[in-house]
Structure 1
Amino acid sequence: MNLPQPSRRHVLLAGAGGLAAVALPGTAHALDAVEPDIDGTSRWTARPPRSPVELVGKRPTMIVVHHTVSVNSADVSRAQAHKHAHWVQDLHMDKNGWTDTGYHFLVSRGGWITEGRHQSLSTLRGGRDFVLGAHTSGQNGAGIGIANEGAYHDGAQPPRAQWEVLVTLCAYTCAQYGIAPSRIYGHKDFGDTLCPGVLHDKLPQLRSEVAASMG
């Protein structure tokens, strides 16, 4: 599969978001974290939630990584990222009966990020609160849920663009909320599931790259 060049992460590093110096609580110096390009719910024309989303009332203490077990599409376009976001929202609202998308953010195979549950983006930028999601039983009041488009439980590897933007999004989330990169987990750490597949094996690499990205 031919992925976009330069990679989405390199585009983000040079883009309008630039480098944002974010000071973590208890640190003497600010750390560099890239604010990635994230398409909010209005950008991808999400359905409104069935009921008002709830705020947790505090910062999250961890990130939980998922995969959506969707088709491993070769379409790396922004349009496909929006189509995938609709697919996930419809699944969660119509089949699961939830009020909205369960995840806070979705990372497409082409390296595009979409906001999942409404208000996830505005609260992330604020850095003081987060939306109560529906992604990890028993941990929804503690963790930000980031889901990756695709199915990675049968040995498939995430495309380079998806991986690099996942690193960027996790780094920005850690910086905004004061989360240590060591507190990036996979769904299967908290339940009997295969999710997030091979991405769980790659968590040590993810934590290391997020820490390096934050300076």
Structure 2
Amino acid sequence: GIAAAPSAHAAVEPDIDSTAEWGARPPNGTNPVIWGSPDKLIVHHTVSANTEDFSREQAHAHAHWVQDLHMDGNGWRDSGYNFVVSRGGWITEGCTGSLPALLDGDRFVQGIHTAGQNTQGIGISNEGSYHEGAEPPAAQWEALVTLCAYACEQYAIPSSEIYGHMDFGSTLCPGIFHERLPRLRDEVERARDL
């Protein structure tokens, strides 16, 4: 096809550590690739400890924790989320193949994050537990906004199509992030118009 000219309103490409960079296990089998674009982003939290370790090493350790929980605990083929944002603002690729798909913008990997939505939505989770009134650190929030803005731009998703896990099922996930969805949508819209 013919490459589109770069938009004058380009969202910033976030720094995302690939599964190779953080040393993920290979998936059990093949992660399904869906050609075309997802129609929404779905925000989650991982319900891990609200660590004060904001290092990249902690982000990688947490990515391993999520993958082990999902593969060994839940019996899933891979980490269920497409991307995970650490409390320190580091972003890791979750489900293997999600990062190159995002960068190309012509496909996405079917995650395992929201019943009934995995073939339509990208799952973005946040390190920590946010259903007891905890606030996400500023670095985490900023990285979430940057990642969502970039994903919305790559896939031509309106910022109005950013949801929380609880919009699609009986869950407390994503805690305070759900109450902040209007702010997230507004900040994503602004990030796309810079």
Using structure 1 for the length normalisation, give the TM-score: 0.86
Give % identity.
Answer: 62
Q: Aligned partners of 2:134 and 2:118: how far apart in 1?
A: 27
Q: Aligned partners of 1:163 and 1:80: how far apart in 2?
A: 17
Whether the aligned pair in 2 keeps the contact of 1:71 and 1:151 (CA below 8 Å) is yes
Given the alignment, which residue of 55, 71, 75 partners 2:49? 71
What residue in structure 2 maps to residue 127 of structure 1? 105
Q: Aligned partners of 1:167 and 1:50: how far apart in 2?
A: 31
Whether the aligned pair in 2 keeps the contact of 1:22 and 1:176 (CA below 8 Å) is no
Counterpart secondary structure, 2:33: coil
Given the alignment, which residue of 111, 115, 139 partners 1:137? 115
* Structure 1 unaligned spans of 5+: 1-20, 24-29
1:58 paired with 2:36, answer yes
AA paired with 1:151?
A: S
What residue in structure 2 maps to residue 106 of structure 1? 84
Given the alignment, which residue of 77, 87, 97 partners 2:65? 87
Whether the aligned pair in 2 keeps the contact of 1:22 and 1:175 (CA below 8 Å) is no
What residue in structure 2 maps to residue 175 of structure 1? 153
Counterpart secondary structure, 1:33: coil
Counterpart secondary structure, 1:49: coil
What residue in structure 2 maps to residue 27 of structure 1? none
1:184 paired with 2:162, answer yes
Q: Aligned partners of 1:31 and 1:186: how far apart in 2?
A: 26
Deviations 1:11-55 (A, max 9, x none): xxxxxxxxxx854xxxxxx42200010000000000000101111
* Structure 2 unaligned spans of 5+: none
Whether the aligned pair in 2 keeps the contact of 1:31 and 1:175 (CA below 8 Å) is no
What residue in structure 1 maps to residue 142 of structure 2? 164
Deviations 1:67-105 (A, max 9, x none): 000000000000000000000000000010000000000
| Large movers: runs of 4+ above 4 Å | none
Counterpart secondary structure, 2:100: helix
1:201 paired with 2:179, answer yes
Counterpart secondary structure, 1:42: helix
Counterpart secondary structure, 2:133: coil
Question: How big is the alpha-carbon RMSD for the aligned residues of Structure 1 and Structure 2?
Answer: 0.9
Using structure 2 for the length normalisation, give the TM-score: 0.96
Deviations 1:134-189 (A, max 9, x none): 00000000000000000000000000000001000000000000000000000000
Q: Aligned partners of 1:31 and 1:100: how far apart in 2?
A: 34
Counterpart secondary structure, 2:95: coil
Larger deviation: 67-76 or 30-39?
30-39
Counterpart secondary structure, 2:11: strand
1:37 paired with 2:7, answer no
